[in-house]
Structure 1
């Protein structure tokens, strides 16, 4: 087990221009405008200590210095950063936007102010190891605010993130045609049975009815359905349920803009079989437009100004155009129907029809090229063409029905998309004026162009061996045990209660702190107790802090976690989680309703520094849950908001967050067999306990070494710590990345010490 560091030094001074890249699907915030001072909200905290108020006011008045920094909200939910995207960021950090394209997955402001780029790679470590040895990685979790998931490692992780070219194995991917995707892989090289399309649909051709999403699938993927609380004002089409194999298909696509109420419709296109466009309307949103999202929608203020058509007008047109047995076809069609505020029960979603591994989805642009041989959404066009996209989704559905799943599987879409991702960086700059062609080069070649060298910090005598070795695999603490630890940490026992206590009232009380998985009555004791298992750790901790020691019907109750080998360090772990840099500006709230976000936006002047509102939804029903997370720029802003929201006007319950955002998705994504019932305790065998102890010591030592190296770095250094993940006969473990800039993270650590 070795800790390696890659250090790239860029000394060339460039023009001082901010490098801001808007995430494709993120509409949670506004871009800062130059020359405009930030407004201060009136101090509404009556009776707050003067020192605390002075500190909050001081934070809000701080000018924005032109220093390199990363955006706080880096990734969309469940997003995974690929090794190619890491390489993309490294090259951009070294060369700047005048030489390579800006990374799409994160925002790096003032790149030209970066002094160094340093990467630490902890081989043989995964995301699972990080949370298993959370207390040992003390410096890493406090110093680095930005965390993201990585896929399991490839055969040569270091070569992938540096961008070294590798020879393609014979027969795996044929040579490509000029500017096109490679032709279909030979049947002999493809195991059709492992293709997810074959696993769902089989080898034979399928009927139109089979391609429709079931009601359960529509619930899972948040399609609007009648009877759902968030669809009360939605307009149903006149579909009467008479859909057959001969029912007509209609391609649908919508474009949206960002308004004060979220994303709203600006254009809708409907295409009939044969490719004829029967509806293409621009729509004027009801609320104030904050961002036209021109890059994606193609809509500008000039285009939309003379438009008088409203949402209700297009709803009326669609109801008139669609016959009773119409089948709507689209790509991520749930978003289009929600933008239209319409309900239609018979849909084919091409992002779900052409299934990809691990729940991912192919992009429409990729499917158009790989399946139909069409180029759409070209970069030289202003935004997407809704009619073109609607026609493409219709043709994709027709292709699937005509040729069947076997034909699709033989194309080996997974190999094709991987190949396209490798070529994407080199193709994009060709259409970008003034960009030097560095996208197809490695990080080392980029450094050579600047007269810089690559420096390895390694315990090995031959650094070149790093590019030929696989990550070492260590069997340690299974996913099942990790899930079990989090489950037991999120479980509380409460009591004693009187034998005639009101159970309904008690259940309502405990549910007020957050979502509950189960509540059981413990009768083995002299007096009844309750065992409450919460979905999130914050809810369990809030219940302990609020209820422990209170009087219930004259009896003083105790609320505590179960005492097992997995919760012995529970209090210590909770304290450290609260100090995690990613959680410093995030608060957890329970008791929110469906109108909470709108109310929050209406009183936005009270919540300065708000960067993101995270409202989880139930995966099955699609309904919003009654809790949320609010992410703020500073600890002071978060503390002030928490005080207001717990006050008399809002009457919510909450506390500072304990779990990083990506960890929720990771725990939720574990396979069902990993979710053990409460009460099952797993103790590793002696051989694994010895391995655990060795890793624990190694984790502590690596943390100390990285801290010393980090302290020696100059301000303005971009620093990444990568745990690549592991591959073994026991399965794959995903990796984890931590990222920050020296100046930025120093202020974070200072805030934690106040």
Structure 2
């Protein structure tokens, strides 16, 4: 099924649309189950279909795939000087860096390195190890290295407060080591202040924690945990980056604790690599894939350790991790999860529970009600069956939805006087939202104007606010086209307004294109509990629209009306009659499917994460994007944010 099914049978999916607030578009899948569970996922060393090649154990991506990399999105592809990678004041505040003048930084020592930074300013790597005292985290060891990697400072520090935990496993510092130490934090602060040039740039991994522990403020820093950007605020560990980027092993298990000089040098070399090679080169390393394969290698190693000698599986598990494409199941196993699978299609991926696979949605539901409460992660697959998603049926559904959306976006206004001003009509109706087209209808006794908007909200506002109004010197009527397909239009629009996704959403149109989201936040600051303000952009030009709202449906309508996919006219015309005969049955099937999901959802425990996927369709005959719905079930039986 696809996103097309959800909106075509929107009224039938009563439970899904009322429960799940969070919705997102999915890339259409040629074989959704195979990609999810990794069927046939053992790949050759080169897999150009996925945009991945394997060279010397590294995963390198084609340039066409780099645009989605968070590093490229953040920095672009061109090389830049080091000043482009130092944290701004706002970034420092956001990441809890000590800032001069901040309330929490009273008594902190300022390095007084206020000289203007240039791309030739010297880099220094800094790292600290901390212990836990009665005061909190306090420094027990400090290391500073210069741009050539030479260690300028590597000192043990005795905290002022009583030590509660030496954290020897991480710091490498023991009680015996600190007994003869006389150096205090104030001594280190003084030495660092003297050693750093006035245009020095400090480099470290999560350097904010080191500066907080040192109780020092430095204005110019490069944080490698933020430099090597990831999605969703995640960060790579220094040990992984050192191995993946520099080919160096640090923080080895054989050593007692971390060596701060080693960590400071690794962070410094990572920053130098990023600056010298540029973001594009770093993105080509495909660090996310390398991290995944590293974790999968650990899983395979654990599996291999459990296999008896001479077992046939041993060879497969010991294959280099870069030869296998990680699948969803393997990623779950990295976290120790073993999912329960219930569905019609039998899958051969190891680790899945395949007992008593059912053949009907009703049987699947009954098994799910029994087994899901016993599993920490469950995957339930319902299906309409291949007879309902044949290509000619999809083409017919797509054409019907496209036609209905066009009608819902279209209104007729009039009648007007013969000499009416079209410009004033366009201006008046343009206040309701962005207009896609405006046409004068001359076949009638008096002129009417056909207006097609780009968003449903705009058409609805025009009907509600301008019907009976005086426009261009005439008292006009505003109405939608009356066709058989539009007879339930008012019901559908009312349900869209009541959709859980649209609760509390205000639609504003007629905005100046020069306005920014900041300007709008100030304008609407008088509204209480304003959570989100969304200023949509044109999906082609990237420019802001003259409207402001929040809706997943808007993007989908735009894609439907601007689809460049070829229609298979012959198949469509030949099979439309067959579609009409089966559509009523399909509507009943969809309604029953929604009821099954409702029963399953009600049986779940509170605080269960629920994700419903319409995986979409991708084949030689056409593509339909998928749709994801997500929420956490709360005590009231409804998805929470």
TM-score bracket, normalised by the shorter chain, equals 0.5 to 0.7
Q: Does 1:181 align with 2:58?
A: yes
Structure-2 residue corresponding to 1:391: 276
Task: Quote the offset at 1:738 in angstroms.
Answer: 1.7
Q: 1:722 aligns with which of 609, 613, 628?
A: 613
Correspondence 1:357-376 to 2 at 5 A:
374=245
Q: Does 1:689 align with 2:559?
A: no
Q: 2:417 aligns with which of 498, 502, 522?
A: 498
Q: 1:613 aligns with which of 521, 533, 549?
A: 533
Structure-1 residue corresponding to 2:478: 559
Contact 1:518 1:534 in 2 (8 A): yes
Q: Deviations over 1:545-569 (max 9, x none)?
A: 1011223466431112223344332
Structure-2 residue corresponding to 1:134: 10
More helix by share: 2
| Secondary structure of residue in 2 paired with 1:587 | coil
For residues 619 and 380 of structure 2, what CA distance do their matches in structure 1 show?
19
The alpha-carbon distance between structure 1 residues 395 and 137, as it changes in their structure 2 partners (threshold 3 A), is: closer
For residues 596 and 274 of structure 2, what CA distance do their matches in structure 1 show?
52
Contact 1:132 1:477 in 2 (8 A): no
Count of paired positions: 442
Q: Does 1:665 align with 2:559?
A: no
For residues 731 and 704 of structure 1, what CA distance do their matches in structure 2 show?
30
Structure-2 residue corresponding to 1:145: 21
For residues 525 and 631 of structure 2, what CA distance do their matches in structure 1 show?
29
Contact 2:606 2:637 in 1 (8 A): no
For residues 669 and 378 of structure 1, what CA distance do their matches in structure 2 show?
48
TM-score, scaled relative to structure 1: 0.46
Task: Quote the offset at 1:708 in angstroms.
Answer: 2.7
| Secondary structure of residue in 2 paired with 1:586 | coil
Contact 1:485 1:566 in 2 (8 A): yes
Correspondence 1:451-530 to 2 at 5 A:
458-460=358-360, 472=386, 473-475=389-391, 476-478=393-395, 479=398, 481-530=400-449
| Secondary structure of residue in 2 paired with 1:614 | coil
Choose 731-740 or 486-495, whichever is displaced more: 731-740
| Secondary structure of residue in 1 paired with 2:443 | coil
For residues 26 and 40 of structure 2, what CA distance do their matches in structure 1 show?
21
Task: Quote the offset at 1:740 in angstroms.
Answer: 2.2
| Secondary structure of residue in 1 paired with 2:417 | coil
Task: Quote the offset at 1:543 in angstroms.
Answer: 0.7
Contact 1:513 1:542 in 2 (8 A): yes
Contact 1:721 1:739 in 2 (8 A): yes
Q: Deviations over 1:176-214 (max 9, x none)?
A: 999942589xxxxxxxxxx8869xxxxxxxxxxxxxxxx
For residues 587 and 579 of structure 1, what CA distance do their matches in structure 2 show?
13
For residues 248 and 401 of structure 2, what CA distance do their matches in structure 1 show?
43
Contact 2:28 2:615 in 1 (8 A): yes
For residues 378 and 591 of structure 1, what CA distance do their matches in structure 2 show?
59
The alpha-carbon distance between structure 1 residues 301 and 546, as it changes in their structure 2 partners (threshold 3 A), is: farther
Task: Quote the offset at 1:474 in angstroms.
Answer: 2.8
Structure-2 residue corresponding to 1:168: 42
For residues 377 and 566 of structure 1, what CA distance do their matches in structure 2 show?
66
For residues 602 and 625 of structure 1, what CA distance do their matches in structure 2 show?
18
Structure-2 residue corresponding to 1:34: none
Task: Quote the offset at 1:497 in angstroms.
Answer: 1.0
For residues 585 and 199 of structure 2, what CA distance do their matches in structure 1 show?
65
Structure-1 residue corresponding to 2:326: none
Q: CA RMSD in A?
A: 6.0
The alpha-carbon distance between structure 1 residues 546 and 603, as it changes in their structure 2 partners (threshold 3 A), is: closer
Q: 1:444 aligns with which of 315, 338, 343?
A: 338
Q: Deviations over 1:644-685 (max 9, x none)?
A: xxxxxxxxxxxxxxxx42x33334445955499xxxxx9871
Task: Quote the offset at 1:417 in angstroms.
Answer: 8.8
The alpha-carbon distance between structure 1 residues 388 and 614, as it changes in their structure 2 partners (threshold 3 A), is: farther
Q: Which has the higher contact order (CA 8 A, sep 6+)?
A: 1
| Secondary structure of residue in 1 paired with 2:549 | strand
Structure-1 residue corresponding to 2:176: none
Q: Deviations over 1:493-537 (max 9, x none)?
A: 111111222322221111111111122222222111111111111
Task: Extract unaligned runs of 5+ from structure 2.
Answer: 66-72, 100-113, 124-146, 148-197, 221-226, 252-262, 300-330, 342-350, 368-378, 567-571
| Secondary structure of residue in 1 paired with 2:58 | coil
Q: Does 1:579 align with 2:464?
A: no
